[in-house]
Amino acid sequence: MAVIHRTTMTPGKLELLASWLPAQPWNPGGGHEPRLTKAGGFRLDDPQGEVGIEFMAVTDESGDRPITYQVPLSYRGAPLPGADHALIGTSEHGVLGRRWIYDGTHDPVLVGQLFALILGEAEPQAQGVSNAPAPSVTAHFAEAGHTASISSVDVTNGPDGTDLRVLTASAPGAPSGPARELTIRVNRVLRPERPERPERAESATRAAQALGHITADWLLPDGATTRGLYAVVSDTAPNSANTP
pLDDT means over runs of 10, the chain (244 residues): 67 94 86 89 94 96 92 96 96 83 96 94 88 92 76 90 88 64 95 62 56 95 95 75 38
Task: Give residue 202's pLDDT.
Answer: 44
What region, left, alpha or beta, does residue 146 occupy, with left being phi > 0 and alpha being psi -120 to 50 degrees? Answer: beta
Provide CB contacts within 8 A for 209, sequence distance 6+. none
Task: Give residue 239's pLDDT.
Answer: 47
Task: Give residue 206's pLDDT.
Answer: 55
> How far, CA to CA in Å, does 26 sit from each of 60, 187, 222?
14, 9, 24
Task: Give residue 162's pLDDT.
Answer: 97
Task: Give residue 243's pLDDT.
Answer: 37
